[in-house]
Structure 1
Amino acid sequence: MDYQAAAEWAAERMQTYRKDASGWRSCKRTNEVSISWRPSTEFHGNLYKAEGILPGKPQDVFKCLKPETGGLREKWDPNVKEVVVIEKINEDASIVRTITPSAFMNVISPRDFLDVVLIKQDEDGTIASVATSVEHPLCLPQPNYVRGLNYPCGSFCIPAPGELSKTQLLIFFQTDLGGSLPQSVVESFFPSSITGFYSSLTKAVIKFVA
């Protein structure tokens, strides 16, 4: 499989999502994040967009998000049990396995996701981390986890205009959790999960890097 090509395709899709402002419907808003959605063009579920301002420069926020074995993500995100880099493709791209615990009062059983992740930094200081699901011979599906699928997704850590010590965090994701979950459960879980994500990440940036 051409992992680099898959990663570049995901990056192109993410840029498309950023530029296309049509069709978004607001579904949840807090002091920390605004969440909207529209039907995905990649699979039968929804594409979610989340936007919020976090304390800390983009590189500080990204330290908490960076997909690395034994990294900070495992320490602050209750929806992530383990992150493992299966293979480093090159300086910018890696194959990453993410294991999630049971959630939504155990209605959602543990999952694992296997993605190619591409990390890039733009000239304006934006740090982008984009991903999409792939297969890899060193990480086949395991019977004790439901293998979920991520369609083009990821985050943009953008320097906040006029705020040198803050970051605009823009996230897109579209995930097929797999299994036989009712759509109503999925649609309730994701907005609440994103809200908790921004809240936990804000605390993590202050605690670990800011």
Structure 2
Amino acid sequence: MTCVFFVIKCFLFDFHQNNRNPSGLVYVIIVAALIFTWLETSFLIYRVIPKEKAAAQIAECLTIEDPNETRSLLGNLRESRRMYSTYAPSIGGYYTPVGSMFAVDMNQATAKSSASREAAVDIAAMLNRASQLHSEVWYLYRLEAWGPDSVTSEQHSIRNADLPGYNSKVFRLETILDASPQTVLHDLVFNITETSSWNTTIDYIECIQSLPSENIDIVHNVIRESLSGAISRRDFVLLRHWGEFDDCYYLGITSVEHPKCPPMKNCVRAQQPISALVLEAIPGELNRCRAVWIMCFDLKLYLPQRLIDRALGTELSNMLTGLQQRVRTLQNTPHSDEQPLQTVTSQVSLVVPRPKWCMPTKRSRSRLSVNKRECTISEGDSSSNESSDKTHLLSVPR
């Protein structure tokens, strides 16, 4: 359109008419060219390109290279899963049928079967995120780019640093706990409902999903309001992964999205990019261990970051003091039902992007479900053993 406009003006318009100054018309032509260009670009961005992308997506779905619907959508994840799980063969022969690309137009009858098709993909995403979390834990643990050491009155070492990939400061806490690494990790993992007894910032916490055979679970954590209600309650949906690696015990935590826990009206959904706890045994002292806890928070607060960092440093120091008091009560506590922790023998390379592998749906708190195609675990059921986890890992709880 712009080219046609200029061609017509050049050949059909007489710029040198008698008693007329052509300078004004020249300015009009220049401005008109800019306006036409802006209009054409806007039309291209908002009308043409979205239609082309939608058409390309439909064409890609219609021309699948492998039309065999019995092929697995898990891809190479079946092979990588063997590196940190003894139950990889349980999904090795499972396949996911190819779903429809017009999922929005499906009715309720087909929506139920479509949801079950995506269950195995969700499990694979959980396992993939856990492997990334494992790598991130040990990357931060071995990192030496920390700020000056600040020792509190309780002999806690607190340091922080601005690390690439994190929007807020990353804190590194270090202290000595009067219990063995196995005892501390067992209490943090399996006695999660008692966390609020030693961490005063937590108002409510529950496990909403569990993969016990893979040392993975999903928890919902709500922290109390502060400053007399000036700062409202925050909640987190966290994926936890734990195990033993390099003669140390670790617990990695990161924020995820989960269909059982959509955002709540009375809470602000905060994020915890990373929480890495590493427990290292002290040579010659069986009932003591060295704890290194690395944390990063995004509390969605519109306050100066310096004030937030100072308040976080105080709260984290109080949390370590509460943890020390908690582990002192565990020294003489028997743990006959302690579950064995799997040993990770190979380290997966760090992948920083965090995929969003769930879309929020209605939350259900009556049962703890591993996934739509996993075994359903009741809250009061403690008789399920390791073999049942393996046999019913992908059974449909309908």
TM-score (norm 1): 0.89
2:155 aligned counterpart, secondary structure: coil
Say whether residues 1:109 and 2:229 are aligned partners: no
C-alpha RMSD over aligned residues? 2.0
Aligned twin of 2:260: 138
Distance 2:162 2:261 in 1: 30
Higher mean C-alpha displacement, 79-88 vs 102-111: 102-111
2:285 aligned counterpart, secondary structure: coil
Q: 1:193 to 1:180 in 2, by over 3 A?
A: same
Say whether residues 1:172 and 2:294 are aligned partners: yes
1:9 aligned counterpart, secondary structure: helix
Distance 1:107 1:28 in 2: 30
Distance 2:237 2:180 in 1: 29
Q: Find the partner of 2:250 among 119, 128, 140.
A: 128
Shift of 1:75: 1.8
Q: Find the partner of 1:204 among 326, 329, 340.
A: 326
Distance 2:135 2:253 in 1: 11
Distance 1:69 1:49 in 2: 22
Aligned twin of 2:142: 19
Matched letter for residue 161 of structure 2: R
Shift of 1:185: 2.7
Shift of 1:156: 1.1
Shift of 1:80: 1.4
1:66 aligned counterpart, secondary structure: helix
Distance 1:67 1:108 in 2: 30
Q: 1:27 to 1:108 in 2, by over 3 A?
A: farther
Distance 2:227 2:176 in 1: 26
Distance 1:123 1:75 in 2: 31
Superimposed CA distance per residue, residues 44-73 of structure 1 (whole angstroms, 9 cap, x where no aligned partner)? 210110011111111222244226552x21
Q: Find the partner of 1:89 among 211, 216, 236.
A: 211
Q: Find the partner of 1:56 among 173, 179, 185.
A: 179
Aligned twin of 2:24: none
Aligned-pair identity in percent equals 20
Larger radius of gyration: 2
Matched letter for residue 174 of structure 1: C
* 8 Å Cα contact 1:127/1:157 also seen in 2: yes
Matched letter for residue 114 of structure 1: V
Distance 2:311 2:187 in 1: 23
Between the two structures, name the one with larger relative contact order (CA 8 Å, sep ≥ 6). Answer: 1
Quick check: which one's strand share is greater?
1
Higher mean C-alpha displacement, 1-10 vs 109-118: 1-10
Distance 2:330 2:230 in 1: 32
Distance 2:228 2:159 in 1: 24
Q: Which runs of 5+ in 1 are unaligned?
A: none
When the two structures are aligned, how many residues end up with a matched partner? Answer: 208
Instruction: State how 1:26-41 maps to structure 2 within 5 Å.
Output: 26-41=149-164
Distance 2:135 2:208 in 1: 24
Shift of 1:122: 3.0
Superimposed CA distance per residue, residues 27-48 of structure 1 (whole angstroms, 9 cap, x where no aligned partner)? 4533331000000322321011
Shift of 1:130: 0.1
